[in-house]
Amino acid sequence: MKTILFTTFVCSFLGCMNPDHQKELFDPLSEEMLKPKLNQTVDFDTLQLTKTAEMLDTNIYWRIVDYSLLNKSSQEEQEQYLINEIEKLSWKEIVGFRLRTYQLLYDSYNSEMWCAGYLMNGGCSDDGFEYFRNWVISRGKETYQKAKSNPDNLISEVREGAEFYEFESFWYVALEAFHRKTGKNLYDYIDHKTFKTHEGNYPVFEFTWQEQSPESMKKICPRLYAKLRN
């Protein structure tokens, strides 16, 4: 008798419900339930975070950088594009983007590149050289590789009216993307014991040019010297 009364109650209850509500009640995978709710915040599982020394795949890295140059009229626009695209990567890949940048900066740390930075910016401090090489990287794979082969090739990047050739903010795009994704500081998840090609381990070199010797700079970067010093 109780079973009959309960069944009658359920049938009556469902009969008063909107068919769509009936579907949601008995179909946990209904379309409405799968839709993300507005303003819903999904907490990142920080327990999965560990230290890593793995660089991002070079093809993925350069694809992001090269695409950031398309239809971007300013460094500010390029910076925002980079942050948004890097944030789409996994947390480990975001750290890997930073590590790949470290590697590229390390590989371009030499006297000849510094000479190009000095000529293009009218001077080049230690920090200025970091910002200059970040700018070189931000100009894409082809520009970076040509500059690494011969810094004087940066003559193709000289623009009339340009005040400087630096991009300090490029250095921080991965940090911002990581913080947005995890709420954490990217530096805390770099395995510094394993990853060695960073600014703290730059190679020591002898300068092959001197500020007081224009001819020494002209010998290394003749086209840049002719364009920017004459």
Round to whole Å and give the CA distance between 57 and 100. 8
Round to whole Å and give the CA distance between 115 and 208. 9
Round to whole Å and give the CA distance between 230 and 217. 13
List all residues 6 or more positions away from 188 whose beta carbon is below 8 Å from its beta carbon.
51
**Around Cβ 28, how many Cβ atoms within 10 Å?**
8
Please tell me the predicted confidence (pLDDT) of residue 13.
40
Q: Give me Rg for the CA atoms of the chain.
A: 27
- Rounded mean pLDDT for each run of 10 residues along the chain, 230 residues in total: 41 44 38 33 68 98 97 92 97 98 98 98 97 98 98 97 95 98 96 92 94 96 94
Token pair of 193 as six digits: 């014991």
Round to whole Å and give the CA distance between 15 and 83. 52
Strand partners of residue 52: 190
Which amino acid appears at position 140 of this protein?
A: G
Round to whole Å and give the CA distance between 223 and 199. 29
The answer to whether the CB of 96 falls within 8 A of the CB of 135 is no
Round to whole Å and give the CA distance between 197 and 144. 18
The answer to whether the CB of 216 falls within 8 A of the CB of 208 is yes
Q: In a 3-state reduction of DSSP, which class is residue 114?
A: helix
Please tell me the predicted confidence (pLDDT) of residue 53.
97
Please tell me the predicted confidence (pLDDT) of residue 127.
97
Please provide the size of the chain in residues.
230
Round to whole Å and give the CA distance between 166 and 21. 59
Sign for the pseudo-dihedral over CA of 152, 153, 156, 159 = negative
Please tell me the predicted confidence (pLDDT) of residue 46.
75
pTM score of the predicted model: 0.80
Burial code of 169-207, b = ≥16 C-beta within 10 A, e = fewer?
A: bbbbbbbbbbbebbeeebeebbeeeebebbeeeeeeeee
List all residues 6 or more positions away from 65 whose beta carbon is below 8 Å from its beta carbon.
82, 137, 138, 140, 141
Please tell me the predicted confidence (pLDDT) of residue 43.
57
